[in-house]
Amino acid sequence: MKKSKLKCPNLVPVTVRHLTMATLHPHLDRQSEKQLCMFFNGNVKFSLLYKGSFHGFSFTEIQYKCTNQGQIIMVGYLEDGLVLGGCMSKGLINQNTTVKDETAFRFSADQSESVKTSVTTVNFEYNAIRFDSDLRFQQSSVRGNALSVTGSQLEGEKILEELEVYRVEDTCDLLETPWRELTSNEEKRNLLKESVVSYKPPTDVVSQARVLLVGPVGAGKSSFISSVCSVFHGRVSIQAMVGTAARSFTTKFRSYTIKAARGGEATPLVLCDMMGLGETDLSGVRVKDVLHVIKGHMPEGYKFNPSEPISSASKGYVEEPTVKNKIACVAFVLDAGRVSAYPELVQEALKELRLKISDLGVPQVALLTHTDEVCNSVAEDGKNIYQSRVIQNKVYAAGKLLGLPVSCIVPVKNYSSELELNCSTDILILSAVDLILQYVDMFCDECEMSKSAP
Ligand SMILES: Nc1nc2c(ncn2[C@@H]2O[C@H](COP(=O)(O)OP(=O)(O)O)[C@@H](O)[C@H]2O)c(=O)[nH]1
Ligand SMILES: [Mg+2]
């Protein structure tokens, strides 16, 4: 049997035994699972994200499988039956990112007992998790207690038979009664579709419902546009450019007129896509550009330049926008898995946008995407979305981040890996469009009033 070196998730260096023909079944036996569950008062279940013998014993693989999955527990199985590991309540975020985590802990368990050791002490400024290039949970001597994954050497060596990472899920996940009503059947899907197709702005002043999707890179803005198109096309299709890069995959300003069917008549709904807000200064669009889009100055196809916002000197700049160019509603798009962990730069940009867009008198709503990634019940069926406690908490977190009432926030599930449409997913997408159109009406009313004002 092949062996290679890897540190196990505690202070003991180990050698990994490479298993051949591994399958993706949890290595965790019932007894150990029970012991680990007790660390969370029994109210959790574990969902396997990564298994070393299956995915490969590499830190890159762990990062790939486990980043942004919420609370995770890493479990290492030693040859002598000892189970060791650690838990991070905020999960893996990004390599080399330090995250405050007051409830992070490491543990050891064997047949007779399990020991949980908090990585929190009161003596230090804050508690942290750090990820470098190897696997090890330890206490950092410099910056408070750290749940750390580093590569330093220690005496003694043990065989690590297996290494797994599980997402920790709340078993009280589904509420007894939904916190919002949602009918999920074919009839409802058709009704919602019909109401979008027959939508007309309530005033002649506004002919189109131009809706701008704004949010961090990767939140799912382009995917939402593609998902809306898919619902009306009757099959999953990609319209807006969707991507996974850390920098925005969408680099141009594009507006998509939604058609009632594939090749069918245009509806008044126009969804506008733009570059996302970056996590660093130059990785995405800045607030100024978003405001220019909203006011209608941005020409179609404009290529964003993060180091230089558009100005009146830019090619194609719309000097005197009419109501036709203006945005009637802004839909903020946030990733449910990241809503509580967006970097400061993104949080500040969102807050600034909220204030400045409100000053412009443009109504705002928010869409919470990636809901299937934070709640298994939603991944199984989108109709569970309003029964999910996790999603409810995420919606409240989004409300807090944006300073928006919860009634303006809708959780959705975009089409990302599916090849076929699904009724519940369609209903979530259509309900989001329905909410957006209600807010477009508010914009139209404002325009009508200002037209008739003396
Ligand atoms: N599982 C899941 N993946 C999503 C969802 N929305 C978007 N994605 C994925 O997230 C990545 C970024 O999406 P994209 O639409 O390009 O984000 P944008 O930068 O906001 O336009 C892509 O890989 C999408 O397939 C969602 O609701 N669920
Ligand atoms: Mg995009």
**Nearest ligand, CA 369:** 1
What separation in Å is there between the alpha carbon of 368 and the centre of ligand 2? 15
Same domain, 213 and 340: yes
Residues 239 and 119 in one domain: no
Q: What is the average per-residue pLDDT within 202-226?
A: 93
For residue 223 and ligand 1, the question of a CB distance below 6 A is answered with: yes
CATH of the domain at 224: 3.40.50.300
242 lines ligand 1 (CB under 6 A): yes
**Nearest alpha-carbon partner for 228 in 448, 7, 34, 428:** 428
Q: Is residue 93 a contact partner of residue 100, using CB atoms and an 8 Å limit? A: no
Q: Which atom of ligand 1 has the smallest separation from the CA of 417?
A: 25
Least confident of 152-166, 248-262, 301-315: 152-166
Q: For residue 88, report the distance from its CA to the centre of ligand 2, in Å.
A: 30
Q: Which of 132, 148, 172 represents a domain boundary (last residue)? A: 172
**106 and 247 fall within a common domain:** no
Ligand 1: atom nearest CA of 217 is: 19
Atom of ligand 1 nearest to the CA of 369: 27
Residue to substitute in 49, 65, 69, 223 for testing ligand 1 pocket (most ligand atoms within 8 angstroms of CB): 223
| Ligand closest to the CA atom of residue 244 | 1
Number of domains in the chain: 2
pLDDT score of 394 more than 70: yes
**Highest mean predicted confidence (pLDDT) among 10-14, 210-214, 280-284:** 210-214
Report the distance separating Cα 30 and Cα 336, nearest Å: 31
Per-residue confidence at 442, pLDDT binned at 50, 70, 90?
A: very high
Q: Verify whether ligand 1 is closer than 6 Å to residue 250 (CB atom).
A: yes
Q: Are residues 132 and 228 in the same domain?
A: no
Same domain, 263 and 156: no
Question: Are 190 and 128 part of one and the same domain?
Answer: no
From ligand 1's centre to the CA of 402, what distance in Å? 20
Give the pair of three-digit tokens for residue 210: 């131009």
- Inform me whether the pLDDT recorded for 72 exceeds 50: yes
Q: How far is CA 256 from CA 108, 268, 364, 415, 441, in A?
A: 54, 11, 19, 17, 19
Q: What pLDDT score was predicted for residue 278?
A: 87
For the Cβ of 217 lying below 6 angstroms from any atom of ligand 1, the answer is yes
Q: CA-CA distance, 305 to 298, in Å (whole number)?
A: 13
Question: Element (H or E) spanning 412, and its range?
Answer: none
- The domain containing residue 159 runs over which residues? 3-172
- What is the mean pLDDT of the segment spanning 423-427? 98
State the ligand closest to the CA atom of 338: 1
Q: Give the ligand whose atoms come closest to the C-alpha of residue 252.
A: 2
Same domain, 218 and 352: yes
Asked if 185 and 108 sit in the same domain, the reply is no
pLDDT tens digits, one per residue of 320-370: 999 889 999 999 999 998 998 899 999 999 999 999 999 999 999 999 999
Residues, CB within 5 angstroms of ligand 2 (ion): 221-222, 250
- 188 and 126 in a single domain? The answer is no
Give the torsion sign (CA, 414, 382, 51, 152).
positive
